[in-house]
Amino acid sequence: MDIGKLRVRPGSKFKLAKYNPGDTLGISKTNAAKAMAGQVTRLSGWHDLLYAEHKRSLLIVLQGMDAAGKDGTIRHVMSGVNPQGCTVTSFKQPSSRELAHDFLWRIHAAVPEKGEIGIFNRSQYEDVLIARVHNLVPREIWKRRYAEINAFEEILSANNVHILKFFLHMSKEEQEKRFKARLSDPAKNWKASAADFSERKYWNDYQAAYEEAISKCSTKDSPWYVIPADHKWFRNFAVAEIVTRTLESFKMQYPSVDPKQLAALQGAKLG
Strand partners, 163: 59
Question: Where are any strands of DSSP class E within the chain?
Answer: 57-64, 86-90, 117-121, 161-169, 224-228
Which CATH number covers residue 153? 3.40.50.300
Residue 271, pLDDT above cutoff 60: no
Structurally, the chain folds into a number of domains equal to 1
Sign (positive or negative) of CA dihedral 72, 217, 55, 36? positive
Contact yes or no for 234/24 (Cβ under 8 A): yes
Domain of 12 in residue numbering reads as 3-267
What predicted TM-score, i.e. pTM, was given to this entire model? 0.94
Q: Given pLDDT bands bounded at 50, 70 and 90, which one contains residue 269?
A: low
Give residue-wise pLDDT tens across range 61-103. Answer: 999 999 999 999 999 999 989 999 999 999 999 999 999 999 9
